Structure 1
């Protein structure tokens, strides 16, 4: 299996219904990805660690999405 170069992160499991569309396209293109739930509100330290270690883990792209105020993409940026 290829090492994931793309990360898909979302704020909660309920966001998967939306973020799954990104995963489906990546599957169609044959691109490896990882998908994780990382809440900007409930687990901000985990979000920080995810972003801080992304490049070391080989990620080149992060697709971030969340409902409501959507602080997750802003914090990841």
Structure 2
């Protein structure tokens, strides 16, 4: 039986999947179980609402939200859940992802979204694991091992 997911990954479009492979690969490497859903804040708001508002009840502890352009997905998800949100701004053809980045970091007071760099999918996975590690020693150990391996490389 597969472990219940601890990290929820949501992205606004199937076109975000290739960029988010670095996230899923890093979570796999760290042994963090996750679930992944594609749902746009603008095209499927009811699906986003349902998924985000039930995430904590499903055992999710951290959410990673990837979106481009207006990049409202992370903020919309944050409005529906008490869980921490890590935003991943996607690179865009129009403004190279600056539009996504600026949208994500300009959240209204009381609805925070932590934000990594444009296309920072790998760092989002590492940060989510660090959040888990704050209360789950097995993931803190994974991060310690990961950082030690980086120092030795």
Asked whether the two chains share a fold, i.e. TM above 0.5, the reply is yes
Coordinate RMSD, CA, aligned: 0.7
How far residue 66 of structure 1 moved from its aligned partner, in angstroms, is 0.8
Partner of 1:23: 24
Partner of 1:39: 40
- Aligned runs of 1:1-77 on 2, under 5 Å? 1-77=2-78
- Unaligned stretches of 5+ residues in structure 1: none
Q: Which moved more, 1:7-16 or 1:17-26?
A: 17-26
How does the TM-score come out when normalised to structure 2? 0.49
Does the residue aligned with 1:65 lie in a helix, a strand or coil?
Answer: strand
**Relative contact order, higher structure (CA 8 A, sep 6+):** 1
**Where in structure 1 do 4 or more consecutive aligned residues deviate above 4 Å?**
none
- Unaligned stretches of 5+ residues in structure 2: 79-153
Greater fraction strand: 1
How does the TM-score come out when normalised to structure 1? 0.95
Distance in 1, Cα, partners of 2:4 & 2:41: 25
How far residue 28 of structure 1 moved from its aligned partner, in angstroms, is 0.3
Partner of 2:84: none
Q: How many residues align?
A: 77
Distance in 2, Cα, partners of 1:20 & 1:61: 18
